[in-house]
């Protein structure tokens, strides 16, 4: 049986985290408000918004699926506009109001849309779900009675490999119906 | 105990949980963003791994200069293949399925001598941040001597090319045969007619939405490795890491699969990357995280399919199928992934009888090394490719005879009284009522009326097509002994623990691992049914090898049937122990104890009763148990099924094609699936929807391509067409229920069924629409361009 090394290899090449971090990064101070909470943070110029949200601030709900703006798993709202947060640099959002999936439920109470996703089995692995919810919310904010085709178009930029989309469309349609009844 | 108690109804009244469309308990964390996928997890002092990959399809590595990268601030270490070799670890990515005469070349964690496909891992950088790690990749200087490459499985073995591996000069990894060649030749000689089809099944890139990832934390003090990773089978990964790559004892490895964002096969395998992540942590004594980019996923996640096939079908004038003969070249990629050998051989050739009585079948498969990403099981794995072939053959056979394809299918279906049915392709089908499912599907579309409408529309130069796909699936990949006879290097059983706590709650620990299938809900339903409890009383735990001692994992549509079967058997053992305690405390014989809604009571005296949760308390108190009984109330179960299960069904698609533009519109898609007993109809429907989406994706949109330099052309999401919401129709689903006679809960499984069915169904429909243009086959993906060309040229492409 092979014996694992007890001496750490290559440690002479390594440096301690914080010291080198300051040394090799040129960082910018920015402030963002995420789900109503203000944060000050230092980011490299090239840091993507999704990376800052996930790695610096701990909002891991937005996921990274492609880094090219195609899959939509990183969808968040910036100043009310739904965007793919891998297509925006964190420094570009200095001073912005950002909404992520973590901000949807109120003290653990799911929103009607979230409830509807559960009722209609609109998610399986859940990886695309945060982005889907944000895109669907954006649709429902501007169109309170969308057709199924309009719903499909609204989530066209959010890929899902598990559900075949039908139950997601059902969930969004049912939410619109439910919100319509309340009006 | 009888395993034949179907549907969780074992004579006693269950809770009614089994069969209910219960909402998923796992949804809330996923809906609120609190669910943790691998990349969401961090350890104090986590470092970041990036992997330098070859941009050559085939080249000799002359030199790897890591000096500049090592000198970068924030870089902790740069490792090459030689460093891994020098560390003395076993460094072998193993195959898990042997075949006669199989050539098994060396497959190392990092390449040392040659790179054999674009994306081969050559060097590893560990740095303080992901940015620095990726920057450092650019500073590694790799000198290559390019070699001739080959990406096509036919060319690889038929053209004189430099071999991918020296061990296989002709690039043949295996030359596999199944069935009786002589009997098949005779059947073809005797038959009235023969029809044939040449077809390709393109490479599919699985595209789980979550790219693969790993976080390794080596504890030097305990010499134990903790590895969070995107895994469909954490125990299998533990075993392969131990025996194959790292050489640590299994009890010094903990593999944790947290939330896993889809798999579809791609997260079954032991790739170099996760082993390198773990090895780097062991070298540095620091936690190391690796997160694949999407391009890395495209280059390294095992692809699916890649078949080039000639199929022939021999028929009599009355439509009787006499024989089927198939020859396939299967691309295996540059290395043998664990099940890369099983998928195009046994998982493929054995389903070539489909739903039909076919007296003679022969199949030859040449498994070819190519300078491409390794190919392994993708949703439907082997069964999808095999059913595609037989369904295309039935369609071209019907065309040859001038017979309606549904009539030809009906004429040859295995009848309900022929089960268990032993096919000429070496399987024994457990149960089926094929005609019932087919008729139900045809009824949904009103088939006869539809054919009439098709004729009328053709007079108006409008072309609708009706596609019918009949399928079976061999699911479960067990029993172990049979799998072993066929070459499997792992068991086919599944394991679980059903455990009452002393206060009456239940934990089910399952050896399978969910990637979105809803195990936590369906397993709770199974246990609740058996124990007379509510699903809310049951907690299901998966995906942690330190919490769940043994398991095989989730693949081959096996979780509900094999994993669920194990849970049902364990729960029954627990219930019977509780019954003995109840009899003892109620001072009667075990035979006089009845069980209803969680309550044990004396027959004829319902007020003399004890609830199973109260008995759990008694079992752990241990004060008053039957003579000789050990305390506690839990069971560990290993379930090794008697046979595969055989889900089946019929899908029907109605499409309209426009010969002027080539556009294809799916008017209707009807799926009738029979997956045996249904545990949760909502989840079954979800599996069918997702399966259809992937099947349609393969038929119309997807397909990986290599350019002349051996570079993957489809390496980003804007180059590979994962279907969008606007590219898929609404689906209509229905079920018949034919229980598996040998499964403890009558379940057959549903994970892969719809993918298997949808691809031939859609192709059948498009080709049917183009019948007036003399088109009898089109290869996938069927694009508007291929439709347009076929309509122009009558199929002579």
Q: Residue ranges of the domains in chain A? A: 24-103, 112-182
**Minimal Cβ distance to A167: which of B73, B689, B726:** B689
Please check the confidence at residue B211 and state whether its pLDDT lies above 50: yes
Instruction: Give the mean pLDDT of B171-198.
Output: 98
First to last CA, chain B: 61
Nearest Cα residue to B511 out of B326, B236, B270: B236
What is the pLDDT averaged over residues A149-178? Answer: 98
Q: Give me the residue from B77, B247, B293 closest to A10, CB to CB.
A: B77
Give residue limits of the domains in chain B. Answer: 27-35+493-639, 147-429
Q: CB–CB of B209 and A127 under 8 A?
A: yes
Query: In which residue are the tokens 């096969």 written?
Result: B265
Q: Would you call A155 and B284 a contact, using CB atoms and an 8 Å cutoff?
A: no
Pairing assessment for the beta strands B213-219 and B428-429 based on DSSP bridges = unpaired
Q: Which fold has domain B147-429?
A: Aldehyde Oxidoreductase; domain 4 (3.30.365)
pLDDT tens per residue across span B115-156: 999 999 999 999 999 999 999 999 999 999 999 999 999 999
CA distance A128 to B262: 10
pLDDT, tens only, B656-687: 999 999 999 999 999 999 999 999 999 999 99
Segment among A12-26, B474-488, B647-661 with least mean pLDDT: A12-26
pLDDT over 60 (residue A8): no
Q: Cα–Cα distance between A41 and B42 in angstroms, integer?
A: 19
B residues 406..445 contacting A (CB < 8 A): none
Beta carbons within 10 angstroms of residue B459's beta carbon: 7
Fold (topology level) of A24-103: Ubiquitin-like (UB roll) (3.10.20)
Count Cα neighbours of B242 within 13 Å in the Cβ-side half-sphere.
Answer: 15
Q: Spell out which residues of chain B touch residue A85, defining contact as CB-CB under 8 Å.
A: none
First and final CA of chain A: distance in angstroms?
Answer: 71
CA dist A59 and A53 (Å) reads 5
What's the rounded Cα separation, in Å, for the pair B31 and B387?
Answer: 37
CB distance from A162 to chain B under 8 Å?
A: yes
For an interface test with B, the pick among A4, A7, A9, A90 (most B C-beta atoms closer than 10 Å) comes out as: A4
**Beta strand residue intervals within B223-338, DSSP E:** 224-229, 253-256, 288-291, 304-315, 321-333
Q: What confidence tens digit (pLDDT) does each residue in B536-587 have?
A: 999 999 999 999 999 999 999 999 999 999 999 999 999 999 999 999 999 9
The model's pLDDT over B393-421, given as tens digits with 9 standing for 90+, comes to: 999 999 999 999 999 999 999 999 999 99
CATH topology of domain A112-182: DNA polymerase; domain 1 (1.10.150)
Q: Among A122-126, B477-481, B698-702, which is the least confidently predicted range? A: B477-481
The SS3 assignment for B508 reads strand
Residues B522-544, mean pLDDT to the nearest whole number: 98
pLDDT at B477: 84
Nearest residue to B619 via CA among B627, B630, B609, B611:
B630
Residue B4 has pLDDT above 90, yes or no: no
Min Cα distance A179 → chain B (Å) is 19
Asked if B596 contacts B13 with a C-beta cutoff of 8 angstroms, the reply is: yes
Test the B interface: residue of A103, A126, A139 with most B CBs within 10 Å: A126
Query: Which residues of chain B have a CB within 8 Å of the CB of A119?
Result: 23
Q: How many CB atoms are located within 10 Å of the residue B440 CB? A: 17
- How would residue B795 be classed by pLDDT, with cut points 50, 70 and 90? low
| B237-254 pLDDT per residue, tens | 999 999 999 999 999 999
3-state DSSP assignment of residue B638: strand
Does domain B27-35+493-639 bear CATH number 3.30.70.100?
A: no
CB-based contact (8 Å) between B484 and chain A? no
Q: Is the pLDDT of residue B797 over 50?
A: no
User: Of A9-23, A64-78, B387-401, which gets the smallest average pLDDT?
Assistant: A9-23
Residue, of A183 and B450, whose pLDDT is higher: B450
Percentage of residues in chain B with pLDDT exceeding 90? 95
Pure H helices in B208-337: 234-240, 272-284, 294-300
Residue of B nearest to A6 (CA): B220
**What pLDDT score was predicted for residue B447?**
98
B632 in contact with chain A, both atoms CB, cutoff 8 A: no
Closest of B738, B645, B778, B761 to residue B692, by C-alpha: B761
Contact across the interface for A129 and B716, Cβ inside 8 Å? no
Query: In which band, very low, low, confident or very high, does the pLDDT at A67 lie, cut at 50, 70 and 90?
Result: confident
Instruction: Identify the pLDDT of residue A5.
Output: 40
Contacts of A102 in chain B (CB under 8 A): 32-34
Chain B CB contacts of A114 below 8 Å: 31-32
Give the SS3 label for residue B732: strand
B27-35+493-639 and B147-429 share one fold: yes
- Token reading at B573: 């053992």
Residues of B333-351 as b/e, b for ≥16 C-beta within 10 angstroms? bbbbbbbbbbbbbbbbbbb
Burial of B544 per CB tally in 10 Å (0-12, 13-18, 19+): middle
Q: Does A22 touch chain B (CB under 8 A)?
A: no
Find out whether B687 and B754 touch, Cβ atoms under 8 Å.
Answer: yes
- Across chain B, what does the average pLDDT equal? 96
Contacting residues of B for A25, CB less than 8 Å apart: 129
According to the model, what pLDDT value does residue B617 have? 98
Return the C-alpha torsion angle B367, B371, B376, B378, nearest 10: -120
Beta strands in B345-441 (DSSP E): 360-369, 421-422, 428-429
Going B234 to B240 to B246 to B247, the CA torsion angle's sign is: positive
Identity of the residue in B28, B220, B516 whose CB atom sits nearest the CB atom of A162: B516
- For chain A positions 31-50, those within 8 Å of chain B (CB to CB) are 44, 46-47
Within 8 A of B262 by CB-CB distance, chain A residues are 124-125, 127, 161-162
Q: What is the ipTM metric for this complex?
A: 0.97
Q: Which distant-in-sequence residues (6+ apart) come within 8 Å of B43 by Cβ? A: B215, B217, B287
Entry pTM: 0.96
Q: Does A178 touch chain B (CB under 8 A)?
A: no
The pLDDT value recorded for residue B157 is: 97
| Closest to B650 (Cα-Cα) out of B756, B769, B763 | B756
User: What pLDDT does B710 receive?
Assistant: 97
Contact partners, residue B709, CB within 8 Å, separation at least 6: B57, B149
pLDDT value, residue B6: 39
In this prediction, residue A25 has a pLDDT band, given cuts at 50, 70 and 90, of low
Establish if B341 touches chain A: CB-CB under 8 angstroms: no
Element (H, E) at B774: none
Residues 86-145 of chain A whose Cβ lies under 8 A from any Cβ of chain B: 100-102, 104-105, 108, 110, 114, 117-119, 121, 123-130, 133
Picking from A9, A157, A162 by the largest number of B CB atoms within 10 A of its own CB, the best residue to mutate is A162
Residues of chain B with pLDDT > 70: what percent? Answer: 98
Rounded CA-CA distance B655/B469 in Å is 14
Chain A positions in Cβ-Cβ contact with residue B35 (cut-off 8 Å) = 126
Taking Cα atoms as reference points, which of B676, B793, B795 lies closest to residue B745?
A: B676
Determine whether the interchain pair A164/B293 forms a contact, defined as Cβ–Cβ distance below 8 Å: no
Q: Do A164 and B223 touch (CB under 8 A)?
A: no
Q: What is the mean pLDDT of residues A4-23?
A: 44
Instruction: State yes or no: pLDDT of B14 exceeds 50.
Output: yes
Neighbouring C-beta atoms of residue A38, cutoff 10 Å: 9
Set of chain A residues whose Cβ sits within 8 Å of the Cβ of B283: 5, 8-10
Nearest to A66 among B294, B686, B730 (CB): B294
DSSP-derived 3-state class of residue B375: strand
| Bridge partners for B303 per DSSP | B375
pLDDT value for A26: 80
CA pair distance B599, B639, nearest whole angstrom: 27
């Amino acid at each position: 049986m092979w014996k694992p090394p007890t001496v750490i290899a290559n440690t002479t090449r390594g440096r301690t985290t914080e010291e080198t971090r300051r040394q090799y990064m040129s960082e910018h101070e920015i402030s963002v408000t995420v789900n109503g909470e203000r944060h000050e943070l230092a980011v490299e110029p090239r840091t993507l918004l999704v990376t800052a949200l996930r790695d610096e601030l701990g909002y891991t709900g937005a996921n990274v699926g492609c880094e090219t703006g195609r899959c939509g798993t990183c969808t968040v709202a910036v100043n009310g506009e739904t965007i793919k947060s891998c297509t925006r640099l964190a420094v570009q959002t200095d001073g912005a109001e950002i909404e992520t999936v973590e901000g949807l439920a109120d003290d653990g109470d799911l929103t009607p849309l979230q409830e509807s996703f559960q009722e209609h089995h609109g998610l399986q692995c859940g990886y695309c779900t945060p982005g889907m919810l944000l895109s669907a919310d954006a649709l429902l904010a501007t169109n309170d009675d969308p057709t199924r085709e309009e719903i499909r178009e609204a989530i066209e930029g959010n890929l899902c490999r598990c559900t075949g989309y039908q139950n997601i469309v059902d969930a969004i349609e049912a939410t619109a119906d439910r919100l319509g009844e309340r009006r | 105990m009888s395993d034949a108690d179907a549907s969780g109804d074992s004579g006693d009244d269950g809770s009614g949980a089994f069969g209910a469309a219960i909402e998923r308990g796992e949804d809330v964390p996923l809906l609120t963003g609190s669910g943790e996928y691998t990349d969401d997890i961090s350890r104090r002092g986590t470092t970041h791994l990036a992997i330098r990959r070859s941009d050559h399809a085939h080249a000799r590595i002359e030199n790897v200069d890591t000096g500049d990268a090592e000198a970068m601030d924030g870089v902790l270490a740069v490792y090459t293949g030689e460093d891994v070799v020098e560390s003395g670890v076993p460094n072998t990515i193993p195959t898990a399925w042997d075949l006669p005469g199989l050539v098994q070349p060396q497959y190392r964690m990092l390449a040392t001598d040659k790179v054999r496909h674009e994306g081969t891992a050559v060097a590893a950088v560990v740095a303080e941040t992901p940015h620095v790690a990726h920057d450092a990749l650019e500073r590694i200087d790799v000198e290559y001597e390019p070699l001739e490459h080959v990406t096509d499985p036919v060319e690889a073995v038929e053209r004189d090319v430099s071999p991918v591996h020296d061990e296989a000069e002709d690039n043949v990894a295996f030359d596999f045969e199944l069935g009786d060649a002589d009997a098949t030749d005779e059947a073809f000689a005797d038959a009235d007619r023969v029809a044939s089809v040449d077809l390709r099944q393109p490479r599919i890139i699985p595209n789980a939405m979550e790219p693969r990832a790993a976080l390794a934390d080596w504890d030097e003090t305990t010499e134990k490795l903790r590895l969070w990773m995107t895994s469909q089978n954490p125990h299998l990964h533990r075993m392969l890491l131990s025996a194959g790559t790292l050489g640590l004892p299994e009890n010094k490895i903990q593999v944790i699969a947290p939330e896993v964002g889809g798999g579809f096969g791609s997260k079954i395998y032991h790739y170099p990357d996760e082993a390198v992540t773990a090895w780097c942590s062991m070298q540095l004594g620091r936690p190391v995280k690796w997160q694949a980019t999407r391009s890395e996923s495209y280059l390294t996640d095992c692809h699916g399919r890649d078949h080039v096939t000639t199929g022939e079908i021999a028929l009599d004038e009355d439509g009787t199928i006499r024989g089927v003969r198939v020859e396939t070249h299967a691309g295996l990629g540059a290395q043998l992934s664990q099940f890369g050998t099983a998928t195009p051989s046994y998982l493929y050739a054995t389903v070539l009888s489909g739903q039909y009585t076919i007296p003679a079948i022969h199949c030859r498969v040449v498994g070819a090394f190519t300078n491409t990403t390794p190919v392994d099981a993708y949703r439907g794995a082997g069964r999808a490719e095999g059913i595609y072939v037989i369904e295309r053959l039935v369609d071209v056979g019907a065309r040859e005879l001038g017979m309606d394809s549904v009539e030809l299918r009906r004429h040859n279906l295995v009848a309900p009284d022929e089960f268990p049915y032993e096919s000429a392709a070496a399987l024994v089908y457990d149960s089926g009522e094929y005609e019932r499912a087919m008729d139900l599907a045809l009824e949904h579309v009103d088939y006869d009326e539809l054919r009439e409408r098709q004729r009328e529309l053709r007079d108006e130069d409008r072309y609708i097509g009706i596609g019918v796909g009949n399928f079976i699936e061999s699911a479960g990949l067990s029993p172990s002994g049979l799998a072993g006879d066929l070459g499997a290097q792992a068991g086919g059983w599944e394991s679980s623990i059903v455990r009452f706590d002393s206060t009456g709650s239940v934990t089910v620990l399952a050896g399978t691992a969910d990637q979105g299938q809803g195990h936590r809900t369906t397993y709770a339903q199974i246990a609740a049914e058996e124990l007379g409890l509510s699903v809310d009383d049951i907690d299901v735990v998966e995906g942690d090898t330190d919490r769940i001692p043994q398991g095989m994992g989730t693949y081959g549509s096996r979780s509900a049937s094999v994993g669920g079967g194990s849970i049902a058997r364990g729960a029954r053992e627990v219930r019977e122990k509780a019954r003995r305690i109840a009899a003892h405390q109620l001072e009667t014989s075990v035979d006089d104890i009845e069980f209803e809604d969680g309550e044990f009571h004396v027959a004829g005296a319902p007020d003399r009763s004890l609830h199973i949760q109260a008995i759990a308390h008694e079992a752990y108190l241990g004060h008053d148990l039957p003579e000789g009984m050990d305390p506690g109330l839990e069971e560990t179960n290993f379930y090794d099924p008697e046979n595969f299960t055989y889900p089946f069904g019929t899908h029907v698609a109605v499409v309209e094609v426009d010969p002027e533009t080539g556009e294809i519109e799916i008017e209707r898609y009807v799926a009738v699936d029979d997956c045996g007993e249904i545990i949760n109809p909502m989840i079954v429907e979800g599996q069918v929807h997702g399966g259809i989406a992937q099947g349609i994706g393969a038929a119309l949109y997807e397909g990986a391509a290599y350019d002349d330099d051996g570079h993957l052309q489809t390496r980003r999401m804007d180059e590979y067409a994962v279907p969008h919401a606007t590219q898929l129709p609404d689906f209509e689903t229905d079920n018949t229920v034919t229980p598996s006679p040998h499964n403890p809960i009558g379940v057959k499984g549903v994970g892969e069924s719809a993918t298997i069915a949808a691809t031939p169904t859609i192709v059948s429909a498009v080709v049917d629409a183009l019948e007036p243009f003399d088109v009898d086959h089109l290869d996938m993906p069927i694009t508007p361009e291929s439709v347009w060309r076929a309509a122009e040229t009558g199929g002579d492409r």
